[in-house]
Amino acid sequence: MTPTTHLSWHPEVKEWIEQQAYARAASFYEQALEQEPEVKTYYWHLGLLLLLQGQEAEAQMVWLMGMAEAEAEQVEVWTGELVQILATEADRQVNLGRRQLAWLVRQHLREVAPTQLENLLQLVALAGELERLNVEDLAQWGVISALKACPEQSVDFDLLMRSLLAVLQHLPPYALTVEFLEACLPQVADISLFMGILLPEAVRIAHSLRLPGLAAELLEQYLQLDPDNLEILGHLATFYQNDRQYDRGIEVARSRLDRVQNPVDRAFSSHLLLRGLMNAGGYWQQVQQISAQHRHWLTQLQTEQLTDIHLAHITRMVTAPYFFPYIQDDLRQNRVVQNQVMAICQTGIRQHPQSQGFLFEHQRPQNPLQRKLRIGYLSHCMRRHSVGWLARWLIEHHDREQFDLYGYFIYESQNDSVYDWYANQFQHVVVMRRDCEDEPAQLAQRIYQDEIDLLIDLDSITLDITCQVLALKPAPIQVTWLGWDASGLPAVDYFVADPYVLPDWAQDYYPEKLWRLPQTYIAVDGFEVGVPNLRREDLEIPPDAVVYLSAQRGYKRHPETTRLQMQILRQVPNSYFLIKGIADEQSIQKFFTELAAEVGVDPTRLRFLAEAPSEAVHRANLAIADVVLDTFPYNGATTTLETLWMGVPLVTRVGEQFASRNSYTMLVNAGISEGIAWSDAEYVEWGVRLGNDAELRQHIHWRLLRSRQTAPLWNGKAFTREMEAAYQQMWQCYCKAAQSN
């Protein structure tokens, strides 16, 4: 054989390698080395062939033999040759779909050249694809320090993005994720592509993994390159607010609002600002000012051509009127704004180019009144969420002999037992992904192809994507139940209510037909109750004191209702008020203590409670209260059900909108009239009376406990039969109308 310094395989060996005849190829190079031991590439090729056969130790020994007695300059050259051979082979294995072998080759390449950045990034990307990337490896490899040592924009950008995606997908919640992203910033050559990689993963991390703080840190890194990006600022404000960094979330939302001019962006930005202020609680003066501006910008939407903007911007508007019912109890005014915005959004969604081809014509079955109905449930709340807790009884008790059930899940929730329960309840489950811009339209297409008869929306306007699906009308009958209130979307046919939760005249302000069930619009079989971890002595409350409790989020803390609660406290001697709920701790305490002092109540009678470790413990802790004081104009819903299940008397103020009548219908359907107030004065009167009358409280307590056996509120199976009858009647009405046309 003639000595050679080339790095490619010999022609005959190349054919054997393609056939994976590695032993035969290795034998060739063993013979070649016997004849020409000075040809170093034979060592590199032989070692690689041994490695491909799983003989790792032998491969390393051969490479060391090739390097033996080399001068420093020779080592550098020969190392470069070996690196090139290993990198080429790793790429070949990837092209053949053998990522595990490619991983093995690149691991040995790292031992030969531990600081070679391209190989380190390839290792990160491969580890992600093989789902074996971990924080220990990333730290040990030194890839972050290697990135920082490189000149700006000197790294292969596509490879960098592959490795970044691997880190984002596999390494949260580790801080090293942020460090890796920070090291990538000087290498970013295409900022739009960079955003296209980072933002969807940040959204997934914030919502699916429930790590909004980490997601916010990631977007803060992005803003170093693009500080005025409105899309990033919008998500960042939400992430901070969800992480309960309310001041930071408010600041970012205000910054976004200051940067925009058109009504669409102003409406969305002011919504984000309201969201931050109201979640924090205690900022009601600012809330009143911003909400007036917000309403003004929403009314301006009627003059906008929404088809000229991105579809995502249109769908964001569906949540824009969300906070008005928390601010004032005005069914007429709130519904007018709600309905106008939703009609505009539906038109914009349907006319947008991305929606073309997704407006559906529904075919009638040949025997429409004698068929098994297909019911689809659409929601992002079939998980650990209030809607998830409450809807489960309807799903559990459904008659599978009469109905085929389809579950359409908006995103997957990981490590969530409630989500897992729902996933096992439906005969058919479809999960919408986060990584596809057209996914809402594709989900609507799937619902249409599944020939769903009635599509039940559990979310109302709490998620823009749900409304985008509904606006395309993938099912002939669309119904909203539970959620928040009726969405006002013209494509929705019915809103499920009952005789109490909306006044008789409410139909005039709903585009949906109000379908009133005979007794209650909600029923549960009960709640899981844990062991309490809250005791009076721990709170320094005397055993003979009267304990009031209110457990609601910050945005339900209306100052007028809080003043009424302080008046109750002032009139009941030896009474204390426990305040619980997600909010900004400092601002909510300032809010309550200032109102207490204004009314003449010693603020030392207030107790601010931390969150319970679980829903079951929270329910058990409700027993510490003698009386629960409901919020207004937005009542409790799940919290009211939990209060009544635990047998605790409740005082509620009844208004005219859905949100201000939830507790009213629940009390009626539990067989209780005590505590229902139709005015502010009655609210205070009931609060004082129940505080002073221990015998009346005990009487209500025992009636509530006995109601578990008899009341409509606690009979999930009977409620399910009423809902099923409603579904069948809706279908019959629809089919009769279709036949007459």
What's the pLDDT tens digit per position in 177-206? 999 999 999 999 999 999 999 999 999 899
Long-range contacts of 147-156 (CB under 8 A, 24+ apart): 147/117, 147/180, 147/183, 147/184, 147/187, 148/183, 150/117, 150/186, 150/187, 152/186, 152/187, 153/186, 153/187, 153/188, 153/189, 154/187, 155/117, 155/118, 155/121, 155/187, 156/118, 156/121
Residue 351: per-residue pLDDT: 85
What single string gives the DSSP state of each residue in 605-634?
A: GEEEPPPPSSHHHHHHHGGG-SEEEPPSSS
Residue 363: per-residue pLDDT: 64
Q: Does residue 266 carry a pLDDT above 80?
A: yes
Q: Which residue matches tokens 């694809």?
A: 129
Number of DSSP helices (H) and strands (E) in the chain, helices first: 32, 13
Q: Which domains does the chain have, with CATH numbers?
A: 1-113 (1.25.40), 263-355 (no CATH), 373-516 (3.40.50.11380), 537-714 (3.40.50.2000)
Residue 355: per-residue pLDDT: 78
Between CA 577 and CA 566 the distance in angstroms is 9
Q: Provide the 8-state DSSP code for 475.
A: S
Contact present, 684 and 572 (Cβ < 8 Å) = no
Residue 9: per-residue pLDDT: 82
Give the side-chain half-sphere CA count within 13 A for 515: 23
Q: Kindly tell me the sign of the dihedral angle through the C-alpha atoms of 86, 88, 93, 97.
A: positive
Between CA 61 and CA 79 the distance in angstroms is 14
Amino acid at 385: H
List residues bridging with 199 in a β-sheet. none
Pick the range with the lowest mean pLDDT from 11-15, 511-515, 734-738: 11-15
Mean pLDDT of 707-733: 97
Say whether the peptide bond before residue 3 is cis (omega within 30 degrees of 0). Answer: no
Amino acid at 448: Y
Confidence of residue 717 (pLDDT cuts 50, 70, 90): very high
Q: Look at residue 735 and give its three-state secondary structure.
A: helix
Q: Look at residue 578 and give its three-state secondary structure.
A: strand
Beta-carbon contacts of 100 under 8 Å, excluding residues fewer than 6 positions away, are 130
Residue 105: per-residue pLDDT: 94
Secondary structure string (H, E, C) spanning 665-721: HHHHHCCCCCCEECCHHHHHHHHHHHHHCHHHHHHHHHHHHHHCCCCHHHCHHHHHH
Using only C-alpha atoms, the chain has a radius of gyration, in whole angstroms, of 32
User: What is the token pair recorded at 385?
Assistant: 């969420």
Contact present, 690 and 697 (Cβ < 8 Å) = yes
Could you tell me how far CA 403 lies from the centroid of its own chain? 29
Whether pTM > 0.85 for this model: the answer is yes
Residue 6: per-residue pLDDT: 46
Confidence of residue 18 (pLDDT cuts 50, 70, 90): confident
Say whether the peptide bond before residue 37 is cis (omega within 30 degrees of 0). Answer: no
Q: Does residue 367 carry a pLDDT above 60?
A: no
List residues bridging with 142 in a β-sheet. none
Element (H, E) at 548: strand 546-551
Residue 1: per-residue pLDDT: 33
User: What is the token pair recorded at 114?
Assistant: 């531990």
Contact present, 547 and 625 (Cβ < 8 Å) = yes
Q: Look at residue 428 and give its three-state secondary structure.
A: strand
Q: Does residue 321 carry a pLDDT above 80?
A: yes
Residue 106: per-residue pLDDT: 95
Contact present, 101 and 20 (Cβ < 8 Å) = no
Confidence of residue 352 (pLDDT cuts 50, 70, 90): confident
List residues bridging with 374 in a β-sheet. 404
What single string gives the DSSP state of each residue in 302-362?
A: GG--GGGS-HHHHHHGGGTTTTHHHH---HHHHHHHHHHHHHHHHHHHHHSGGGTT---PP
Contact present, 194 and 160 (Cβ < 8 Å) = no
Mean pLDDT of 234-255: 96
Query: Which of 521 and 29 is assigned the larger pLDDT?
Result: 521
Between CA 740 and CA 733 the distance in angstroms is 11
Residue 320: per-residue pLDDT: 85
Between CA 555 and CA 450 the distance in angstroms is 39
Q: Provide the 8-state DSSP code for 285.
A: H
Identity of the highest mean pLDDT range in 36-40, 297-301, 381-385, 454-458? 454-458
Phi, psi angles (nearest 5°) of residue 575 = -115, 150
List residues bridging with 495 in a β-sheet. 480, 514
Q: Over the stretch 564-623, which tens digit does the pLDDT of each residue have?
A: 999 999 999 999 999 999 899 999 999 999 999 999 999 999 999 999 999 999 999 999
Confidence of residue 306 (pLDDT cuts 50, 70, 90): low
What share of the chain has pLDDT > 70, as a percent? 96
Residue among 490, 430, 486, 435 nearest 462 (CA): 486
Contact present, 60 and 43 (Cβ < 8 Å) = no
Alpha helices in 155-245 (DSSP H): 157-170, 176-184, 191-207, 212-223, 230-242
Mean pLDDT of 677-697: 98
Q: Over the stretch 429-486, which tens digit does the pLDDT of each residue have?
A: 999 876 565 688 889 999 999 999 999 999 887 788 898 899 999 999 999 999 889 9
Beta-carbon contacts of 204 under 8 Å, excluding residues fewer than 6 positions away, are 434
What single string gives the DSSP state of each residue in 9-44?
A: PPHHHHHHHHTT-HHHHHHHHHHHHHH-TT-HHHHH
Could you tell me how far CA 646 lies from the centroid of its own chain? 30
Residue 2: per-residue pLDDT: 34
Amino acid at 713: L
State the average pLDDT for the chain.
Answer: 92
Between CA 197 and CA 185 the distance in angstroms is 13
Residue 418: per-residue pLDDT: 87
Q: Provide the 8-state DSSP code for 538.
A: G
Between CA 714 and CA 718 the distance in angstroms is 9
Residue 72: per-residue pLDDT: 74
Beta-carbon contacts of 389 under 8 Å, excluding residues fewer than 6 positions away, are 418, 524, 527, 615, 638
Q: Does residue 81 carry a pLDDT above 50?
A: yes
Residue 3: per-residue pLDDT: 37
Residue among 20, 62, 142, 83 nearest 91 (CA): 83
Between CA 346 and CA 306 the distance in angstroms is 10
Query: Which of 740 and 170 is assigned the larger pLDDT?
Result: 170
Residue among 417, 408, 432, 435 nearest 203 (CA): 435
Residue 102: per-residue pLDDT: 94
Query: Which of 16 and 567 is assigned the larger pLDDT?
Result: 567
Q: Kindly provide the b/e burial profile for residues 622-645, where b requires at least 16 CB atoms within 10 angstroms of the residue's own CB.
A: bebbbbbbbbbbbbbbbbbbbbbb
